[in-house]
Structure 1
Amino acid sequence: MDALALTAATDMSPWALFLQADWVVKAVMIGLLLASVWSWAIIIERTRRLSALDKAVRAFETRFWKAESLDDLSGDKGKHPAGDLFAAGMDEWQASTKRTGLADREGVRARLAGVMQASIDRAISDLSDRLNILATIGSVAPFVGLFGTVWGIMRSFIAIGATQNTSLAVVAPGIAEALFATAIGLFAAIPAVIGYNRLLHRIDRLEDRLTAFSAAFHAMLSRELDGDR
């Protein structure tokens, strides 16, 4: 074996393993790398968005409790979930009291609770929209990598049968590229699972904050209905 052949046989760098793999294993590796990039893009985008929304909601709550007039807060609609919730509650309050006055107090309370809960549900649904992609990548990527592993090992055994040679130099490249496919599968899956769980936790915390704000706002409007303000 000349020096060039020896170098090719012993080169186990990631790039060399990719080049030595057949088209099936290459397709698996490329697909897993694209899935990893996709999951990281989702994680970064959702993390930034949740950080900004959490800051905006906290600031809105502070302004809400210090505001002398609720009309001063109407401009936050469309900027963050708390602003949308407040706008939905105020719109329903104005529509209900204008139509029925204070005659149907329980009906007004029920409608207020309904529209504010619907606003929360819409916000959480929007934020959770791409988390299913992370869950899918986290659960499927290891099995896709395992498929590449099985395929590579199968090729190694075929090489053994064709050459009648069981030396490590014959089987090592196929086994190495097979294990490399598994490693890429884990590389894609692990961040996706961690990102999914972390983002889900942050969304749940935001939902709890919005629910608490909704309850306080609803109680304030209920006192207004009873004339206790």
Structure 2
Amino acid sequence: MTAELSILDLFLQASLLVKGVMLILLGMSVVSWAMIIKRSKVMQQAFSKAERFEDRFWSGIDLSQLFQEVQARKDNLTGSEKIFYAGFKEFARLHRSNDKVPEAVMEGTSRAMRVSLSKQVEELETHLPFLATVGSISPYIGLFGTVWGIMHAFIALGAVKQATLAMVAPGIAEALVATAMGLFAAIPAVMAYNRLTAKVGKLEHNYMNFMEEFSSILHRQAFAATQE
């Protein structure tokens, strides 16, 4: 009896439509797990890189020297480094031509850093909408397969003269597997989406704090130049 009710046997005995639903859910689960693992690594690396760069930034190094170091690998910058690079590059460009108008310098610098921050957050949120989609629609896809399977089982049952539980149980079990697979795909996706979204929010907050602190430093430099 155990072999007859194994997941594989239930899948093989299911109707074509229910099999299709199960395969779709299995595919969604596999893809979502791949994205969960990948995005988790990306978040971990983002935290590590931000911490290392900010330690370097607050070590007392000259900002021009730090900019030269960052510029040497400008094609591989992320997070705080990217915001610093965009801000300092714009600051230096505007400061050369508007050294007597610090407000204009800081406005342009802040704009460049905000654009860079927006791009960094957008990259961090890559694939998160897919996880939200899997989490929200997988149970309904599984429920659709279950309803169809149970309906199919009862239609077949109506064709016989004497119905027994043994006749209808396998068909209902096959159908319920679709609901189970829907939940199996949805629950990890929802949990991962919430966790990763929280990490994106924390990183965004860290980036914004760094941007404000960096802006304060540049602000003092911009206004100090007008006093010389």
TM-score (norm 1): 0.92
Give the CA deviation at 1:166.
2.0
- For residues 181-213 of structure 1, what are the alpha-carbon distances to aligned partners after superposition, in whole Å with 9 as ceiling and x for unaligned? 000000000000000000000000000000000
Give 1:39-78 correspondences, 5 Å limit: 39-74=32-67, 75-76=69-70, 77=74, 78=76
Match of 1:147 in 2: 144
Distance 1:21 1:184 in 2: 14
Match of 2:98 in 1: 100
- 1:32–1:184: 8 Å Cα contact kept in structure 2? yes
Structure 1 unmatched ranges of 5 or more: 1-6
- 2:43–2:199: 8 Å Cα contact kept in structure 1? yes
* SS of 1:129 mapped into structure 2: coil
Match of 1:193 in 2: 190
* SS of 1:227 mapped into structure 2: helix
Name the stretch that deviates more: 68-77 or 126-135: 68-77
* Aligned mate of 1:172, from 147, 166, 169: 169
Match of 1:22 in 2: 15
Distance 1:227 1:82 in 2: 25
Give the CA deviation at 1:218.
0.1
- 1:159–1:170: 8 Å Cα contact kept in structure 2? no
Distance 1:108 1:95 in 2: 9
Structure 2 unmatched ranges of 5 or more: none
- For residues 7-50 of structure 1, what are the alpha-carbon distances to aligned partners after superposition, in whole Å with 9 as ceiling and x for unaligned? 59x71110010000011000000100100011111110000011
* Paired residue type of 1:13: S
* Aligned mate of 1:36, from 24, 29, 32: 29
Distance 1:61 1:118 in 2: 20
Match of 1:111 in 2: 108
Name the stretch that deviates more: 199-208 or 76-85: 76-85
Name the stretch that deviates more: 158-167 or 186-195: 158-167
Count how many residue pairs are aligned between Structure 1 and Structure 2: 221
2:126 corresponds to 1:129: yes
- 1:141–1:188: 8 Å Cα contact kept in structure 2? yes
2:78 corresponds to 1:80: yes
Distance 2:163 2:147 in 1: 18
* Paired residue type of 1:68: I
Give the CA deviation at 1:86.
0.5
Match of 2:214 in 1: 217
* SS of 1:162 mapped into structure 2: coil
- For residues 132-160 of structure 1, what are the alpha-carbon distances to aligned partners after superposition, in whole Å with 9 as ceiling and x for unaligned? 10010000000000000001100111111
Distance 2:66 2:32 in 1: 36
- For residues 36-82 of structure 1, what are the alpha-carbon distances to aligned partners after superposition, in whole Å with 9 as ceiling and x for unaligned? 01111111000001101100100100100114212332334433211
Match of 1:90 in 2: 88
TM-score (norm 2): 0.93
